Amino acid sequence: MASLRKLGVWFLLMGLLIVAGCGNGERTEVPKQSVSVVDGDTIKVKMKKKEETVQLLLVDTPEINHPDVGKQPLGDEAKAFTQKLINEAKKIELEKEETKRDKYGRFLAYLHVDGKLLQEELVKEGFARIAYVEQPDAKYLEELRKAEQEAKRKKVGIWQWDSYTKKDGFHVEALKNERNIFVASKNSDVYHPIGCHVVKDIKPENLMYFYSEQEAMKTNRHRSGVKECWSSYK
What pLDDT, on a 0 to 100 scale, did the predictor assign at position 1?
Answer: 55
Dist CA 195 CA 181 (whole Å): 9
What pLDDT, on a 0 to 100 scale, did the predictor assign at position 110?
Answer: 97
What are the boundaries of each domain within the chain? 2-160, 176-229
Alpha-carbon distance values, 204 to 18, 64, 65, 76 (Å): 33, 7, 6, 11
pTM assigned to the model: 0.87
What pLDDT, on a 0 to 100 scale, did the predictor assign at position 10?
Answer: 45
User: Which residue from 105, 116, 106 is spatially nearest to 82, judged by alpha carbons?
Assistant: 116
- Write the single-letter amino acid at 115: G
Dist CA 57 CA 48 (whole Å): 24
Summarised one tens digit per residue, pLDDT across range 93-116 is 999 877 688 888 889 999 999 999
User: Which residue from 197, 213, 150, 172 is spatially nearest to 62, judged by alpha carbons?
Assistant: 172
Q: Are residues 33 and 44 in contact, defined by beta-carbon separation less than 8 angstroms?
A: no
**Which top CATH class is 2-160?**
mainly beta
What pLDDT, on a 0 to 100 scale, did the predictor assign at position 112?
Answer: 98
The low-confidence residues of the chain, meaning pLDDT below 70, are 1-25, 99
